[in-house]
Amino acid sequence: MYEPIFALFCERVKESIQAGTFAKLTLAKTMGDTEIKNIYFRLVLNEDDTFSISLTTRYKTEEIESVHTLDEALLILGSYIKKPFLTALLFTTDNDVTFKVNKKNAGSIIEQPPTFKNASPVMLEMIEKGIV
């Protein structure tokens, strides 16, 4: 089952935010032709110097944005794994971390050199303000 591996992936997301290396997170590669195309996960700085997660869900005809706590956002992402997304991509300044589920329901994590040299602008602002 992929769930324990996805839990490790979620820990990597949390660690990247705590370490100030978070750049971007997206769900991709759907099974078949689906209405939903992808989900983007972004950091949002709140007025009280805390952060939330903005989830932008892109469908064929519209985009819906919702704001959540980090744990809520990760639960929501988990609910889309295999229904219909097979891949979650975490981009950090240290490395790119790819979570994949195969046809046998097994999860895997692959690390590659980083795509992004800089953390997301909101992540940089959070570091500057001492939030992380």
Tokens of 10: 């979620």
The answer to pTM > 0.85 is yes
Distance, in Å, from the CA atom of 44 to the CA atom of 62, rounded to the nearest integer, reads: 21
**Tokens encoding 113:** 């050199």
Torsions phi, psi for 9 (to 5 deg): -60, -45
- Residue-wise pLDDT for 36-76, tens only, equals 999 999 999 999 999 999 999 999 999 999 999 999 999 99
Ranges of H-type helices in 20-120: 70-80
- What are the residue boundaries of the structural domains of the chain, listed by start? 2-126
Q: Is it the case that residue 80 has pLDDT exceeding 90?
A: yes
Structure-block tokens of residue 14: 């949390």
Residue 119: predicted pLDDT:
96
The count of residues in the chain is: 132
Residue 32 has pLDDT above 90, yes or no: no
